[in-house]
Amino acid sequence: MQRPASHINHRLTRRRLLAGSAVTALGSAALLAGCGDDSSSGTSTPQASASQAAGTPRRGGTLRLPTIFASGGNFDVQKFVPAQYTAAVWRTCGNGLFTIDPKTGNPVGDLAESWSFPDPLTFVAKLKAGAKWHNKAPVNGRAVTAADVKFSLERIATNDPAFVRHSDYDLVDRFEAPDDQTVRIVLKKPYVPLVSALANQQAVIVPPEVIQKFGDLSSPDAIIGSGPFILDHADTTQGGAVKRNPDYWEKGGPYLDGIQWTIVNDPQTILSGFQAGNFDMYQVATIDLTSIKGLSGVGVVHYLAPNSFLQGLGGPIDKAPLSDIRVRQAINLAIDRKALGNVVYPGGDFQPAAVIANPAWGIPSDELLKQPGFRQPKDADIADAKKLVSAAGGNIELTISTTSSYPSFYLDRAQAYKAELEAVGFKVTLDTSDYTSFKSKETNKRFQVDTLSPAFATDPDALLSGAFGTDGARNYFSYSSKDFDDYIAKERAETDPEKRKQIVLDAQRLLLKDLPVAGFANWYVYSDMAIRDNVKGVQLGGIGPSGAQAGDQSFQAKNIWMAS
């Protein structure tokens, strides 16, 4: 799966038709990751990052970005699922305790100077000296303290569904601020993924005075942080802009005078806007690559974009016919992952994955390609699938729930599944509805099988525990396995990255044996970013624990600069 960097950072001379833009855009809104600090990241695989040409950074210029405002509420980044743009504005104006290194995809200190687990139930972080809030009322440039961090984390962890990230802190007993520079988090049980949770886009540290003044963070006026940029203006209809924080406390940036986001309703309009020179960079959809090719002064960076989706065909296994393991095995054998990949990423650059599609954590493709259902050619698997269908009684009816909206490959994929399953003897019907109805059926387990694509935080713990843990909030499959639950408990307590990775891999191998999702079908995918030549310092393709989140430029806005 891994490629040398020279094969990754290249320009328009290669016309690779890849998808993944939607995946990455959504993935950046998903979140979390990790294990330990930067030096102890959970990946042992080579990095596949790609960056713009080196040079001496200079000050000046405004970076212009389009953003799709497909969802998201107001500016209270700590509540609900923020729009890509809302989170980006906050991450440029604010800091978390941790951020994501876009080059590696690993969590690294943002406000945290150093951190450790002195014992399995205690996490301690020391804040960077000199960190201070924006020079605006009501904080007026005062120093950032551990009490501010404690206040923010307690707000994010509020036991209210509106604070959607609160479950990241379910295993936290309490937050403490023993002195101005020290944050201590006491856990109920060992929880190594905590660092990744603290690097989440939504885990922005805010001053208590702002909440006291505004009541919450929903107003753009409340966007006051300690970050390299200060809000100029923002709304939820047109977009917004930030400008350089002249009093930024950390060396090495920001270099840009500002960043400007324009909310655009339609992907075609983004493409036209880019062609017309209104934007400096954007994630190019596969179909649009040829349109970008003729533009002068524009490069396309081709990079591995890990995703944090659970993909495949599955449903509750406590109901017939999926309660029969032979039916699930037949589905697993019948699915042609290569053909499906071509449906989702036509002409694309991808390799099969199974459960987790981040090379830092997923089962390697070479191992997968020897597994039943993943082998090529498919002849033997299809013959075995037919026997299993027959042994399970034959005439098995399956209803595949899917959605015709957002994005279209849900439906395309469902049609491919239908054809493949009918080829081995299933009788398949499609149940198509709009996205909200589809998600409603999924959430309430009112479906037989569906074209799964729920997004998870980027740390493997989120997907494994959330979707397959006995008490997982999104265990739509009614899967319960003591062995699997033990794996979750072990990986949560394991601080050694390599040992943790092995536990995560073993957990996925167990899933491939038990098949709670009858047909796991995910892919390691490359994506493309169109960038004007004068935009420098952009890093893409970090595949560490938080790789999917690293694709968001707000994490690296401080380091981006523009050549004259």
Partner 1 sequence: MKYLARRCALFVPTLLLVLCLVFLLVRLIPGDVVTLLLNDQNVSAQQAAEFRQKLGLNDPLPVQFVHYVADVARGDFGHSVFTGDSVWSDIVDRLPITAELALLAAFFTLLIGIPLGVLSAVYQDRPLDYGLRVTAIAGLSLPGFWLGTLAIAMPAVWWHYSPPLTYVSPFDNLGDNARQFLVPALIMSLYFACILMRMTRSAMLEVLRNDYVRTARAKGLSGRAVIQRHVIRNGLIPVITLFGTQVAVLLGGTVIFEQIFNLQGIGSYVFQAVSQRDYPAIQSVNILLALAVLIVNLAVDCSYVYLDPRTQE
Residues forming contacts to partner 1 in the complex (CB under 8 A) are 30, 66, 71, 73-74, 80-81, 161-162, 164-165, 167-168, 218, 236-239, 262-266, 268-269, 271-273, 275-278, 291, 405, 433-441, 443-444, 454-456, 462, 466, 473-474
Pick the closer one to partner 1 by CB: 73 or 364.
73
Tokens representing residue 547 in the block: 């790789």
Task: Output the smallest distance, CB 437 to partner 1, in A.
Answer: 4
Pick the closer one to partner 1 by CB: 213 or 326.
213
Pick the closer one to partner 1 by CB: 6 or 444.
444
Residues pairing with 175 in the sheet: 185
Task: Output the smallest distance, CB 131 to partner 1, in A.
Answer: 30
Residues pairing with 125 in the sheet: 115, 183
Pick the closer one to partner 1 by CB: 149 or 455.
455
Task: Output the smallest distance, CB 194 to partner 1, in A.
Answer: 15
- CA separation for the pair 201, 133 (Å, rounded): 18
- Cβ atoms of 41 and 34 within 8 Å: the answer is yes
Task: Output the smallest distance, CB 284 to partner 1, in A.
Answer: 14
Task: Output the smallest distance, CB 241 to partner 1, in A.
Answer: 11
Tokens representing residue 503 in the block: 């536990």
DSSP H or E segment with residue 150:
helix 146-156
Pick the closer one to partner 1 by CB: 17 or 263.
263
88 closest CA partner among 487, 556, 528, 432: 556
407 closest CA partner among 335, 337, 311: 311
Task: Output the smallest distance, CB 363 to partner 1, in A.
Answer: 23
Burial class (CB in 10 A: 0-12, 13-18, 19+), 129: exposed
- CA separation for the pair 41, 126 (Å, rounded): 19
Pick the closer one to partner 1 by CB: 186 or 263.
263
Task: Output the smallest distance, CB 492 to partner 1, in A.
Answer: 14
484 closest CA partner among 453, 520, 509, 521: 509
- CA separation for the pair 471, 189 (Å, rounded): 16
- CA separation for the pair 110, 497 (Å, rounded): 21
Task: Output the smallest distance, CB 352 to partner 1, in A.
Answer: 23
* DSSP type of residue 287: G
End-to-end CA gap in the chain? 37
Task: Output the smallest distance, CB 127 to partner 1, in A.
Answer: 28
DSSP H or E segment with residue 387:
helix 379-391
Tell me the H-state helices in 141-257. 146-156, 194-198, 208-214
What count of other Cβ atoms lies within 10 Å of the Cβ of residue 290?
12
**For the CA atoms of 248, 282, 206, 154, what is the dihedral angle to 10 degrees?**
-140
Tokens representing residue 543 in the block: 């595949």
194 closest CA partner among 119, 100, 98, 101: 98
Pick the closer one to partner 1 by CB: 182 or 218.
218
Pick the closer one to partner 1 by CB: 73 or 208.
73
Task: Output the smallest distance, CB 307 to partner 1, in A.
Answer: 13
**For the CA atoms of 147, 192, 131, 254, what is the dihedral angle to 10 degrees?**
-140
Tokens representing residue 274 in the block: 């880019």
Task: Output the smallest distance, CB 340 to partner 1, in A.
Answer: 21
Residues pairing with 450 in the sheet: 314, 401
Pick the closer one to partner 1 by CB: 382 or 430.
430
Task: Output the smallest distance, CB 85 to partner 1, in A.
Answer: 13
- CA separation for the pair 270, 358 (Å, rounded): 28
- Cβ atoms of 477 and 369 within 8 Å: the answer is no
Pick the closer one to partner 1 by CB: 284 or 368.
284
Pick the closer one to partner 1 by CB: 263 or 430.
263
Q: Which amino acid is at 322?
A: L
Q: Phi then psi for 473, rounded to 5 degrees?
A: -65, -25
Pick the closer one to partner 1 by CB: 88 or 144.
88
